[in-house]
């Protein structure tokens, strides 16, 4: 700032010359009018009304003027700054109005749009159904047991009294697994059949693992995936789900097995449903049986009544569930359990087959191909 000077004339001071003030004002007003948005206006404000703007600098010069010159210069600079400040205020209001209108359009929410376009995922009905079976037994005090899907032949066959010549051991039914450097791998001699490792063909090896792990009394339910070299068709899949049950205790009889089966089908299919046993053969149970349940839809009423056919049981009145029996004493012995003291029962069935008749699914392929059009009607159970 210049020092007070009696001979000081504002017209002579460059920054206070009327044409300089007018030019600074005109430039400021033009810049304000040209500011296209609030950000640009902020910059214009700093440049033309800020501390280092020409008009602010001119204003500082006034203090150094002699008293008689101050009023005139002050009025001129004050009017110019007032005009700029007024223009800034107006433009600010205009730009804010424009912004608010734009935001209202751009950020408008159409409350009529559906809010749930992305449906929540859900677990596969095979999973939820096999858990429902588990729940029936967990409620009775059974524990859930699991075993590996890649299994030693000994657990899958030998310990279950399935001898080396049993048809189930042939390549026809069983996926044999070979590891690197093992027989059948690349140039190594022999075939995968010699590897001693298979993809388990049923959940029954979990019986063996459980009996080797725990002392009787044993009450376990074992759900799991199993593998067979079956072609994929309407009633078979090479990968399917089984649920196995094993009970070993003192004094267990076929009556306990039958009572347990009846309880299970009642819980899963409703009151009035019961089971029957038909003689069968499994190497690991003796005696063995095929278990059927009375049709939960027609309760047998469709049998011999052509006017009331039943699609669920094909009017046969009974539905085949799976295999069962009393644990063969040879299996107990193989696991170090005294067959003189303990007896046991076991059963196993396929979840896919059970789902087929429970939900009238005509083709098993629909269950395993992963098309959500199949799973959606089962709901969003998670
Ligand atoms: C067994 O696997 C015995 N381990 C069951 C058992 C356990 C008997 C304990 C006695 C004591 P099976 O081979 O019958 O049995 O098979 C049982 C069920 O698996 C069949 O009833 C059927 O529902 C289902 N199943 C068999 N093969 C297939 C397949 N390829 N696709 C879908 N389900 C199948």
**Can you say how many angstroms the Cα of residue 336 is from the centroid of all Cα atoms in its chain?**
42
Give 82's contacts (C-beta < 8 A, 6+ positions apart).
Answer: none
Going by DSSP bridges, is the β-strand pair 275-282/239-249 parallel, antiparallel, or unpaired?
Answer: unpaired
Please tell me the predicted confidence (pLDDT) of residue 361: 87
Is 223:134 a contact under the CB 8 Å cutoff?
Answer: yes
User: Helix, strand or coil for residue 151?
Assistant: strand
Query: What's the rounded mean pLDDT across residues 33-58?
Result: 92
Domain covering 125-378 assigned CATH 3.40.50.300 in the classification? no
Count of Cβ atoms closer than 10 Å to residue 83 Cβ: 16
Written as six digits, the tokens of 373 are 């059009």
From the CA of 194, how far away is ligand 1's center (Å)? Answer: 25
- Mutual angle of helices 18-34 and 38-49, in 10-degree steps: 170
Q: Which atom of ligand 1 is closest in space to residue 324's alpha carbon?
A: 10
Binding residue per annotation — 286? yes
Ligand 1 proximity of 285 Cβ (cutoff 6 Å): yes
Is 61:111 a contact under the CB 8 Å cutoff?
Answer: no
Residues constituting the chain: 382
pLDDT of residue 310 exceeding 70:
yes
Which carries the bigger pLDDT value, residue 169 or residue 99? 99
Ligand 1 proximity of 324 Cβ (cutoff 6 Å): yes
Q: Which atom of ligand 1 is closest in space to residue 353's alpha carbon?
A: 23
Point out the least confidently predicted range of 29-33, 83-87, 323-327, 366-370. 366-370
CA torsion sign for 129, 134, 139, 140 is: positive
Give this prediction's pTM: 0.70
Query: What's the rounded mean pLDDT across residues 59-68?
Result: 82
Pocket of ligand 1, candidates 130, 258, 323, 332: which has the most ligand atoms within 8 Å of its Cβ, to mutate?
Answer: 323
From the CA of 348, how far away is ligand 1's center (Å)? Answer: 6
Please tell me the predicted confidence (pLDDT) of residue 167: 79
Which carries the bigger pLDDT value, residue 81 or residue 110? 81
H/E element, 293: strand 285-294
Please tell me the predicted confidence (pLDDT) of residue 154: 93
pLDDT of residue 277 exceeding 70:
yes
Please tell me the predicted confidence (pLDDT) of residue 264: 96
Please tell me the predicted confidence (pLDDT) of residue 184: 52
Give 105's contacts (C-beta < 8 A, 6+ positions apart).
Answer: none
From the CA of 351, how far away is ligand 1's center (Å)? Answer: 9
Ligand 1 proximity of 10 Cβ (cutoff 6 Å): no
Query: What's the rounded mean pLDDT across residues 13-38?
Result: 90
Residue 117 sits at φ, ψ, to 5 deg, of -60, -35
Please tell me the predicted confidence (pLDDT) of residue 359: 85
Distance CA 140, CA 192 (A): 42
Find tokens 């027989």 and name the residue: 183
- Return the percentage of the chain with pLDDT > 90, whole number: 63
DSSP annotation string for 299-329: TTTTTT-TTS--TTTTTSSEEEEEEEEEEPH
Q: Which of 287, 317, 311, 296 has the alpha carbon at shortest distance from 361?
A: 311
Give 239's contacts (C-beta < 8 A, 6+ positions apart).
Answer: 225, 226, 227, 368
Going by DSSP bridges, is the β-strand pair 218-227/143-144 parallel, antiparallel, or unpaired?
Answer: parallel
343: β partners = 249
Pocket of ligand 1, candidates 240, 288, 322, 325: which has the most ligand atoms within 8 Å of its Cβ, to mutate?
Answer: 322
H/E element, 144: strand 143-144
Point out the least confidently predicted range of 25-34, 110-119, 254-263. 110-119
Confidence band, pLDDT 50/70/90 cuts, at residue 182: low
Ligand 1 proximity of 76 Cβ (cutoff 6 Å): no
Which carries the bigger pLDDT value, residue 226 or residue 194? 226
Is 274:294 a contact under the CB 8 Å cutoff?
Answer: yes
| C-alpha pair distances (Å), 12 with each of 18, 73, 243 | 10, 11, 105
Please tell me the predicted confidence (pLDDT) of residue 372: 84
Written as six digits, the tokens of 80 are 């110019």
Ligand 1 proximity of 352 Cβ (cutoff 6 Å): yes
Query: What's the rounded mean pLDDT across residues 156-182?
Result: 82
Pocket of ligand 1, candidates 350, 365, 368: which has the most ligand atoms within 8 Å of its Cβ, to mutate?
Answer: 350
Please tell me the predicted confidence (pLDDT) of residue 190: 56
From the CA of 240, how far away is ligand 1's center (Å)? Answer: 9
Distance CA 154, CA 363 (A): 34
Alpha-carbon radius of gyration of the chain? 44
Residue 13 C-beta-side C-alpha neighbours within 13 Å: 26
Please tell me the predicted confidence (pLDDT) of residue 150: 95
pLDDT of residue 189 exceeding 70:
no
pLDDT of residue 128 exceeding 70:
yes
From the CA of 241, how far away is ligand 1's center (Å)? Answer: 9
DSSP annotation string for 75-100: HHHHHHHHHHHHHHHHHHHHHHHHHH
Please tell me the predicted confidence (pLDDT) of residue 14: 78
Please tell me the predicted confidence (pLDDT) of residue 339: 97
pLDDT of residue 163 exceeding 90:
no
From the CA of 349, how far away is ligand 1's center (Å)? Answer: 5
Distance CA 37, CA 367 (A): 60
Q: Which of 324, 279, 325, 315 has the alpha carbon at shortest distance from 294?
A: 315
Count of Cβ atoms closer than 10 Å to residue 327 Cβ: 26
Going by DSSP bridges, is the β-strand pair 218-227/318-327 parallel, antiparallel, or unpaired?
Answer: unpaired
């Amino acid at each position: 700032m210049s020092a007070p000077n009696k001979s000081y004339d504002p017209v002579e001071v460059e920054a206070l010359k009327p044409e300089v003030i007018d030019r600074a004002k005109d430039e400021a007003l033009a810049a304000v009018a040209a500011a296209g948005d609030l950000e640009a206006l902020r910059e214009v404000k700093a440049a033309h009304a800020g501390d280092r703007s020409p008009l602010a600098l001119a204003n500082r010069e006034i203090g150094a003027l002699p008293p008689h010159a101050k009023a005139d210069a002050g009025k001129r600079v004050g009017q110019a700054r007032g005009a700029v400040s007024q223009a800034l205020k107006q433009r600010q209001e205009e730009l804010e109005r424009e912004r608010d209108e734009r935001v209202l359009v751009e950020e408008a929410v159409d409350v009529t749009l559906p809010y749930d376009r992305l449906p929540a995922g859900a677990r596969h009905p095979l999973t939820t159904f096999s858990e429902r079976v588990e729940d029936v037994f967990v409620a009775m005090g059974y524990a859930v047991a699991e075993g590996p899907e890649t299994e030693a032949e000994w657990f899958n066959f030998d310990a279950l009294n399935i001898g080396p010549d049993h048809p189930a051991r042939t390549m026809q039914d069983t996926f044999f697994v070979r590891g690197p450097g093992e027989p059948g791998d690349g140039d190594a001699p022999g075939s995968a059949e010699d590897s001693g490792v298979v993809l388990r063909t049923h959940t029954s090896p979990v019986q063996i693992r459980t009996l080797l792990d725990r002392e009787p009394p044993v009450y376990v339910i074992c759900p799991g995936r199993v593998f067979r070299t079956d072609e994929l068709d309407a009633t078979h899949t090479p990968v399917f789900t089984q649920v196995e049950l094993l009970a070993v205790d003192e004094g267990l009889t076929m009556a306990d097995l039958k009572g347990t089966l009846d309880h299970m089908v009642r819980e899963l299919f409703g009151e009035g449903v019961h089971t029957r046993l038909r003689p069968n053969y499994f190497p690991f149970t003796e005696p063995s049986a095929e278990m059927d349940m009375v049709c939960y839809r027609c309760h047998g009423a469709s049998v011999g009544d052509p006017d009331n056919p039943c699609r669920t049981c094909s009017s046969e009145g009974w539905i085949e569930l799976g295999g069962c029996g009393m644990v063969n004493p040879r299996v107990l012995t193989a696991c170090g359990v005294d067959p003189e003291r303990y007896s046991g029962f076991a059963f196993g069935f396929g979840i896919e087959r059970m789902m087929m008749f429970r939900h009238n699914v005509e083709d098993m392929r629909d269950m395993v191909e992963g098309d959500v059009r199949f799973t959606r009607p089962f709901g969003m159970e998670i």
